[in-house]
Amino acid sequence: MRQMAPLKFPATPGGDFSGVVTEIGEGVSGFKKGDEVYGQANVTRSGSGSFAEFASADVNTTAHKPKNANHVEAAALPLTGVSAWQALVDHLGLSRGEKILIHGGAGGIGTIAIQLAKYLGAYVVATVSAKDIPYVKELGTDEAIDYKNQSFEELSKLAELVDKRAIKVHIEKTFPLEQAGEALMYLQNGHPRGKVVLKIRED
Ligand SMILES: NC(=O)c1ccc[n+]([C@@H]2O[C@H](COP(=O)([O-])OP(=O)(O)OC[C@H]3O[C@@H](n4cnc5c(N)ncnc54)[C@H](OP(=O)(O)O)[C@@H]3O)[C@@H](O)[C@H]2O)c1
């Protein structure tokens, strides 16, 4: 924690919050006392920590609460929701008709990512434990993969292409397991052509 923020103790933990504005900082516009807001107030983001009755939050990590969500629901959305948004919208630019594989579909980020991907019009494949298959289907998942018992379709298709010699796997260098440290140093010194692999034992 110390590496992330210069904490002064006592410090208040907690990031995500939902609540009502009681005071507004100087020069802040777009909010007024009594507004229902939600966002992030963690100490690593210029907030005062959300595990408290009152908290201060940076205006850049605060927004008006969705009207269709109560405070409990809104408080559960900020970090997972923003993480899913950054991945699917900002980084991937996911669009209608594209296919996406979401690992950990039943988790905090996964449940939002599945729904956001469906909203964007994508075909969604999600990995989950068997017990969570009905749950993620309810969220809109088109195909659910039980990651503990089912191999990935992509891996089987890749294997077929390697067998057909359509894909050649290029190994730049192998290291014995005992030299894992050297292997990582080797990677740090430049991007390899193809891959560097650790060999558990000689064939
Ligand atoms: N939560 C956040 O706001 C946040 C923000 C940024 C980054 N992250 C990172 O994003 C990742 C997911 O976070 P989360 O909050 O969504 O976690 P989470 O709520 O704990 O969910 C993780 C999910 O992954 C599943 N899972 C575990 N091993 C798996 C595997 N080998 N293949 C496929 N699924 C697997 C678990 O299912 P089972 O229990 O059924 O195995 C669980 O449903 C974590 O690495 C976290 O550090 C989270």
Residue ranges of domains in the chain: 16-76, 79-153, 169-203
Residue 202 has pLDDT above 90, yes or no: no
Separation CA 16–CA 9 (nearest Å): 20
pLDDT tens digits, 67-83: 999 999 999 999 999 99
Separation CA 100–CA 93 (nearest Å): 11
Name the more confident of 32 and 187: 32
Residue 23 has pLDDT above 90, yes or no: yes
59 CA to middle of ligand 1, Å?
Answer: 28
Crossing angle between the packed helical segments 108-119 and 78-85, to the nearest 10 degrees: 50
Residue with CA at minimum distance from ligand 1 atom 9:
109
Which of 43-47, 139-143, 164-168, 177-181 tops mean pLDDT?
Answer: 139-143
The response to whether residue 76 sits with its C-beta less than 6 Å from ligand 1 reads: no
CATH homologous superfamily, domain 79-153: NAD(P)-binding Rossmann-like Domain (3.40.50.720)
Q: Are 115 and 140 in contact (CB under 8 A)?
A: yes
Q: How confident is the model at residue 174 (pLDDT cuts 50, 70, 90)?
A: very high
Q: How confident is the model at residue 90 (pLDDT cuts 50, 70, 90)?
A: very high
106-120, 121-135, 147-161, 168-182: the lowest-pLDDT one:
147-161
Nearest to 81 by CA among 18, 34, 21, 134: 18
Separation CA 101–CA 14 (nearest Å): 30
Ligand 1 pocket check: which of 109, 116, 147, 149 to mutate, most ligand atoms within 8 Å of Cβ? 109
The response to whether residue 124 sits with its C-beta less than 6 Å from ligand 1 reads: no
Q: How confident is the model at residue 1 (pLDDT cuts 50, 70, 90)?
A: low
Average pLDDT value for the chain: 91
The response to whether residue 129 sits with its C-beta less than 6 Å from ligand 1 reads: yes
Mean pLDDT of 141-151: 89
Separation CA 34–CA 37 (nearest Å): 9
Q: CA 103, 105, 110 angle in degrees (round to 5)?
A: 95
Residue 190 has pLDDT above 90, yes or no: no
